[in-house]
Amino acid sequence: MSGYFSLVFGVIVGTIALQTEAAPVAKADSKRVAEIVRSRCSLCHGPEGESASAVYPRLAAQHPDYIVKQLTDFREGRRKSDTMSDMAKDLKDEEIAGLAEYFSGKKAAVRQPGDVDFAAVGKFIFQRGNPYSGVPACASCHGPNGHGTQRLPRLAGQHRAYIEIQLKEFSKRERTNDNAVMHTVAAKLTELETRAVATFISGLQ
């Protein structure tokens, strides 16, 4: 019988642990989220997540799980940025979740394609990669339309300059909080390919 009760006890403990791990994050007050957007986020990313400056990412329609990860990484120091680390340092988990829900719910604006001929080179690499240098197709992870997944970012319509900056940081291993595969991929891209891919992505809807 002792073995039986040990087994039952183990199942109960395991169930409690699973329930604890799966416990949802408390929902942040909507007024508090709106205040954070107004006083912090909108300064660089705009109130609707459509940043006017090309060096700041567009957040509108980005996957909520991805936003949560990035803000948490900034807060915990896993992703380096003096500005964002300062902005995120005192955010609570529920506030981060609230911000993710807010920006992911915004509709991405319609994008105008850039240099069509140049973007065509980027389209080839995005869809088919570069078999001569071993660069895989971006679409194999981020999807044919660049919409990503819950774990991988939406790229469609992102600022060309911002994408270039991130690819170069991956290439130099200066950004280390995300998939290490990007280090290898970005390192194989030429400067022309980097610009072309970023140009193509910036025009995706």
Domains recognised in the chain with CATH numbers: 30-104 (1.10.760.10), 116-202 (1.10.760.10)
Angle, alpha carbons 202-204-205 (nearest 5°)? 125
What is the model's pTM?
0.84
pLDDT digits (tens, 9 = 90+) for 2-14: 443 343 334 333 4
Mean pLDDT of 83-106: 98
| pLDDT, position 24 | 61
Distance CA 166, CA 106 (A): 23
User: What local confidence, expressed as pLDDT, does residue 114 receive?
Assistant: 78
- Rounded to an integer, the average pLDDT of 83-95 is 97
- Cα three-residue angle 76-47-103, rounded to 5 degrees: 55
Q: pLDDT digit string (tens) for 146-161?
A: 999 999 999 999 999 9
* Residues 6+ away with beta carbon under 8 Å from 118: 195, 196, 199
State the average pLDDT over residues 7-25: 44
Quote the CA–CA distance of 57 and 109 in Å, as a whole number. Answer: 13
Asked if residues 44 and 88 have their Cβ atoms less than 8 Å apart, the reply is: no
